[in-house]
Amino acid sequence: MSMRLTDLEDLLVIDARGKAVGRVTRALFDPMEPLLVGFEVRMNPFGHFIERPRRYVAFNGVSVSSKKVRLSKGTPLERVRGRRSGVDWEQAVVWHGMPVKTTSGKAMGFVGDADIESDGRISRLELTRGVTSDLAVGIREVAGEHILGFSREAVRVVDVEDGVEFSGGVAAGAGKGAAVAKVTAERAAVGAARTAAAAARAAKSSKIGKRASASWKGFAHGIKEGMSEDDSSAGKR
> What mean pLDDT comes out for the span 119-124?
95
What CATH number should be reported for the domain holding residue 55? 2.30.30.240
Residue 209 lies in a domain: yes
Tell me: do 43 and 154 sit in the same domain: no
Q: Which pLDDT value is given to residue 213?
A: 47
Domain that holds residue 215: 99-236
Residue 113 lies in a domain: yes
Measure the CA–CA gap between 204 and 77, rounded to whole angstroms. Answer: 23
pLDDT in tens, 1-35: 689 999 999 999 999 999 999 999 999 999 999 99
Sign of CA dihedral 121, 204, 10, 82: positive
Q: Which pLDDT value is given to residue 98?
A: 94
Q: Which pLDDT value is given to residue 211?
A: 57
Residue 76 lies in a domain: no
Tell me: do 103 and 187 sit in the same domain: yes
H or E element, residue 215? helix 210-217
pLDDT in tens, 28-64: 999 999 999 999 999 998 877 888 899 999 999 999 9
- Determine the 3-state secondary structure of 230 from DSSP: helix
Tell me: do 107 and 146 sit in the same domain: yes
The domain tally of the chain equals: 2
Residue 202 — pLDDT band, cuts 50, 70, 90? low
Residue 81 lies in a domain: no
Residue 79 lies in a domain: no
Tell me: do 132 and 212 sit in the same domain: yes
Nearest to 92 by CA among 100, 101, 83: 83
Q: Which pLDDT value is given to residue 47?
A: 77
- Is the pLDDT at 168 greater than 50, yes or no? no
